[in-house]
Amino acid sequence: MSVKKFVIRGQKPLEGTVTISGSKNAALPILAATLLADGCCTLRNIPQLTDIMVMCEILSELGCSVTKPDGSSVMVDPTHLSRNAVPYQLAGRLRGSFLVMGPLLAKTGNASIALPGGCPIGTRPIDLHVKGLAALGADIRNTQGSVIARADRLYGAKIYLDFPSVGATENIMCAAVLAEGESFIENAAVEPEIVDLANFLCSMGAKITGAGTDTIKIKGVNCLVPTQYTIISDRIEAGTFLAAAAATGGCVTVKNILPDYLKPLTAKLTEMDLSLTVDEEAITIKGNGDPRSVDIKTLPFPGFPTDMQAQMTALLTISQGTGIVTETIFENRFMHAPELNRMGASIKVAGRSAVIEGKSSLSGAKVKATDLRAGAALVIAGLAARGDTEISDIYHIERGYDRLDEKLRTLGAQIIRITDN
C-alpha cells in the first residue's frame, strides 16, 4: 500500500488568488438525492476528492449509471437502479454514506445501509435520522451491522429534531419529498448546504419551503424530474485558505464564494485584527503577521462552524495572547492539539475546551493527520512554522480538499506531496 505525506517548508507568506471548489457537504447529499429523479441529473461544480469518489461508487453499486463528462461535473442516471444495499466495504469508507438512506427508501421502499461505525471525532449516532424516517412510516431495523428500512408508502408527518442535525435534516427532507401529504421538520438544521439540497430538490419538482429556517415544510409529490444543477462553493475550503493566509502573514483572495456563508468566520478574523475586504463573490485577507487571540465556540449555523475549529486553533497557536476554543458539536475534536504541540504550540485540552497560549512561532516537525480538518490544521501550522514539517496520513485531508497542495503552490507555498510505495 502506498503511503502519502506532505512535506512543507514554512514561513513563506501566501500571496495571490485561489478559486474555491464546490462544497463537499452540499455535493454529498445532492449526489445521494439524484436517486430520487426519474432520469439523468447533471451536477456541476463537483469537487475532486475521495469522499465524492466513494459516493459515486456507492451510486454505481446500487445500479446507477455515473459518468463524469469533465473534472467538475457528474451525471447520475438511476433508471436502472437494481440494488437496495450499501455494503460495509463502501459505507465504512464514508460517514456520509448514510445520506443514501432517505432517497433510496423514498424511491424504492427498501434500503439497507451498513453502519459506518465510530469516527475519530465522535460517536456520530444516527438516532435522529431513524426517528424521522420512522415518523414518515418506515419500518426500521438494525440487523447484522446494517440499518434496514422498509415502507410501501411514506406519509407526511411532523418531526421535531432534538438537535438540528445536518444529516438527519437532509435524510428526512429527501424521504419526505415523495411522501403522501405534508411534512414539517421542526428544529431543522439551517446550514447553507441544507438550502442547496432543497434548491436542488425543488429544481426536480419537489415542493419545499422554509429551508434555511428552523421549520421546513415539504409537500409530497408523485415523482421528480431530472435536472441540471450547480453546487454552491465550499465555505470550509475558503475558510481554510483564509486561515492559512493569516497564519503566514500573506495576502490572499478566495474567489467563487458566497461571502454571507462565511460570516461566522470573517467576524472572528476581523476580531483578530486581520484586514478583510469582502466583494460580491470574493474575500481578500491581508495578514498582519501578528493576529490577536480570540475565544471561539462552535455552534450550529449561523454559529461558528465546527469544521473550521481545528484550522482556527492552528492560527491561535501563533496569535498574540490566550484564546479559548470550546467545541460543542463533536465530543472528540481536539486530536490536532497534541500534534500542534509537537510543533511547539501550547494547547491544553480539558473536556470540551482548549486553552491556547499564543507563541511567536512554531517549528517544523513530523506530525500525523488524524482526521480531515485536523489535517488541514497541521498544513496551516506547517506553512507558518520555521523549518520543515512532514504530515503523514494525508488520505484524511484528501477526503475533503480538492487538490489542496496544488492550490497552495499557486499561492507560493513550498509544499510537496510524496508517495512512498
Residue 356: φ, ψ to 5°:
-115, 115
Residue 226: φ, ψ to 5°:
-65, 155
Residues 6+ apart with CB under 8 A from 335: 120, 121, 370, 371, 374
Query: For residues 306 and 319, which CB has a smaller minimum distance to ligand UD1 in the complex?
Result: 306
Residues 6+ apart with CB under 8 A from 301: 189, 190, 191, 192, 264
Q: What's the rounded Cα separation, in Å, for the pair 135 and 159?
A: 7
Which CA distances in Å does 172 have to 106, 345, 356?
A: 10, 42, 39
Q: Which of 420, 418, 353 is nearest to 389 (CA)?
A: 418
Query: For residues 188 and 245, which CB has a smaller minimum distance to ligand UD1 in the complex?
Result: 188
| Smallest distance, ligand UD1 to C-beta of residue 103, A | 14
Q: Are 197 and 33 in contact (CB under 8 A)?
A: yes
Residue 122 binds ligand UD1 (CB under 6 A): yes
Instruction: Kindly state the cell numbers that stand for 112.
Output: 439497507
The residues facing 276 across adjacent strands are 285
**Could you give the string, one character per residue 192-211, with x where binding to ligand UD1 holds by CB under 6 A and - elsewhere?**
-x------------------
Continuous H helices in 62-142: 88-91, 101-108, 127-135
Residues 6+ apart with CB under 8 A from 287: 13, 245, 246, 247, 248, 249, 250, 251, 274
The only residue of 22, 102, 167, 250 in contact with ligand UD1, by rule CB under 6 A = 167
Is beta strand 110-114 parallel, antiparallel or unpaired with respect to 146-150? antiparallel
Pick the piece of the chain touching ligand UD1 (CB under 6 A) from 9-17, 163-171, 203-211, 272-280.
163-171
Q: What's the rounded Cα separation, in Å, for the pair 187 and 132?
A: 12
Q: Which residue is nearest to ligand UD1 (CB)?
A: 167
The only residue of 86, 126, 177, 232 in contact with ligand UD1, by rule CB under 6 A = 126
| Smallest distance, ligand UD1 to C-beta of residue 59, A | 15
The only residue of 71, 125, 145, 321 in contact with ligand UD1, by rule CB under 6 A = 125
Judged by CB under 6 A, the chain residues 288 through 307 that form the site for ligand UD1 are 306-307
The only residue of 28, 100, 238, 377 in contact with ligand UD1, by rule CB under 6 A = 28
Residue 127 binds ligand UD1 (CB under 6 A): yes
Judged by CB under 6 A, the chain residues 43 through 82 that form the site for ligand UD1 are none
| Smallest distance, ligand UD1 to C-beta of residue 166, A | 4
Residue 185: φ, ψ to 5°:
-105, 115
Residue 375 binds ligand UD1 (CB under 6 A): no
Residue 25 binds ligand UD1 (CB under 6 A): yes
| Smallest distance, ligand UD1 to C-beta of residue 25, A | 3
Residue 268 binds ligand UD1 (CB under 6 A): no
Pick the piece of the chain touching ligand UD1 (CB under 6 A) from 71-79, 124-132, 238-246, 352-360.
124-132
Residue 166 binds ligand UD1 (CB under 6 A): yes
Query: For residues 233 and 253, which CB has a smaller minimum distance to ligand UD1 in the complex?
Result: 233
Residue 136 binds ligand UD1 (CB under 6 A): no
Query: For residues 125 and 289, which CB has a smaller minimum distance to ligand UD1 in the complex?
Result: 125
Query: For residues 25 and 293, which CB has a smaller minimum distance to ligand UD1 in the complex?
Result: 25
Q: Which of 56, 64, 119, 202 is catalytic?
A: 119
Query: For residues 84 and 97, which CB has a smaller minimum distance to ligand UD1 in the complex?
Result: 97
Query: For residues 168 and 411, which CB has a smaller minimum distance to ligand UD1 in the complex?
Result: 168
Pick the piece of the chain touching ligand UD1 (CB under 6 A) from 35-43, 105-113, 120-128, 351-359.
120-128
Is residue 119 flagged as an active site residue? yes
Residues 6+ apart with CB under 8 A from 70: none
Give DSSP secondary structure letters for 124-191. Answer: ---HHHHHHHHHTT-EEEEETTEEEEE-SS-B--EEE-SS--HHHHHHHHHHHTTSBSEEEEET----
Q: Taking the CB of residue 72, how many other CB atoms lie within 10 A of it?
A: 17
* Per rule CB under 6 A, count of chain residues that contact ligand UD1: 22
Q: Are 208 and 188 in contact (CB under 8 A)?
A: no
Query: For residues 237 and 405, which CB has a smaller minimum distance to ligand UD1 in the complex?
Result: 237
Query: Nearest-5° angle of CA 133, CA 76, CA 394?
Result: 85
| Smallest distance, ligand UD1 to C-beta of residue 128, A | 3
Residues annotated as part of the active site: 119
Which residues of this protein are in contact with ligand UD1, per CB under 6 A?
Answer: 25, 28, 95-96, 122, 124-129, 163, 165-168, 189, 193, 306-307, 329-330
